[in-house]
């Protein structure tokens, strides 16, 4: 099985090289990295130009949007360009742990057994470390096995997005939603809840699969909390009404 790391990036030049490097330095060799530059205006285009001149990693594909499309559209573009059987999510300021691909592929291979047959209807997530802008260890992030009922009640999936992996087939069935979900930074939540209520299976790897960078200027810490909760509640209520 081949695993494709998909990294959408917008104005995150200082973090992209370590992120790419963490995907290439895996204990599992059959990987590729798809970087989708969402029309960055910082030094990221210069980095990409330099990387290409260096012949940087034949396993890395650089794409650039001709205008700023938002993170959901960039994820969808990267997912569509991926050639792997499995897509691994990674935000451009986060890091993948060295055994992430190996552990993820092993879980998908187990789910592919004829007696199980869940690989194309499976989302895997796992544990994560917290880190800050300068790489200081912040300990383990609070993660656990996804619980649909709890998520519906608390409006929190409890999943670190940069630990998530799903099949290419599943990615094509469930694209990330653009517009309000992307603007509010809840496109991961809407994806998880849509999948869960459609019967997609969730599996949890208790090992730390990524280092999640806690950024005080990131969307999670700058968005309007009341607006986010109102949107999430309305979205979940809409899903439940359709399912009824």
**Mean pLDDT of the 94-103 span:** 97
Q: pLDDT (tens digit, 9 = 90+) per residue, 21-57?
A: 999 999 999 999 999 999 999 999 898 888 888 776 6
The token duo for 47 is: 């980095």
All structural domains of the chain, each given as residue ranges with its CATH number in brackets, are 3-243 (3.90.550.10)
The token duo for 148 is: 């649909």
pLDDT at 50: 86
Report pTM.
Answer: 0.92
pLDDT at 220: 61
Element (H, E) at 171: helix 168-173
CA 29/CA 44 separation, integer angstroms: 26
Does 230 score more than 60 pLDDT? yes
The backbone torsions φ and ψ at residue 215, rounded to the nearest 5 degrees and listed phi first, read -120, 115
CA 160/CA 162 separation, integer angstroms: 6
Residue closest to 163 by CA, chosen among 76, 105, 97, 93: 97
């Amino acid at each position: 099985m081949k695993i494709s790391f998909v990294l959408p990036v917008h104005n995150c030049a200082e973090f992209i090289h370590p992120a790419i490097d963490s995907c290439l330095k895996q204990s599992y060799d059959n990987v590729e990295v798809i970087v989708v530059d969402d029309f960055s205006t910082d030094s990221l285009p210069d980095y990409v130009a330099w990387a290409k001149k260096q012949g940087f990693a034949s396993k890395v594909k650089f794409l650039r949007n001709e205008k700023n499309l938002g993170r959901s559209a960039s994820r969808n573009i990267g997912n569509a360009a991926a050639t792997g059987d499995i897509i691994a999510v990674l935000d451009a300021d986060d890091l993948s742990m060295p055994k992430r691909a190996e552990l993820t592929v092993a879980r998908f291979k187990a789910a592919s057994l004829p007696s199980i047959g869940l690989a194309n209807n499976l989302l895997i997530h796992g544990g994560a470390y917290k880190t800050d802008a300068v790489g200081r260890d912040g300990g383990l992030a609070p993660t656990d096995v996804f619980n649909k009922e709890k998520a519906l009640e608390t409006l929190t999936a409890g999943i670190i997005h940069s630990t998530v992996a799903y099949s290419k087939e599943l990615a094509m069935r469930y694209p990330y939603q653009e517009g309000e979900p992307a603007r509010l930074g809840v496109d991961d939540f809407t994806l998880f809840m849509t999948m869960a209520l459609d019967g997609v299976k969730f599996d949890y790897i208790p090992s730390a699969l990524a280092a999640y960078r806690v950024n005080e200027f990131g969307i999670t810490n700058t968005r309007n909390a009341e607006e986010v909760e109102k949107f999430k509640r309305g979205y979940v209520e809409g899903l439940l009404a359709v399912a009824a």
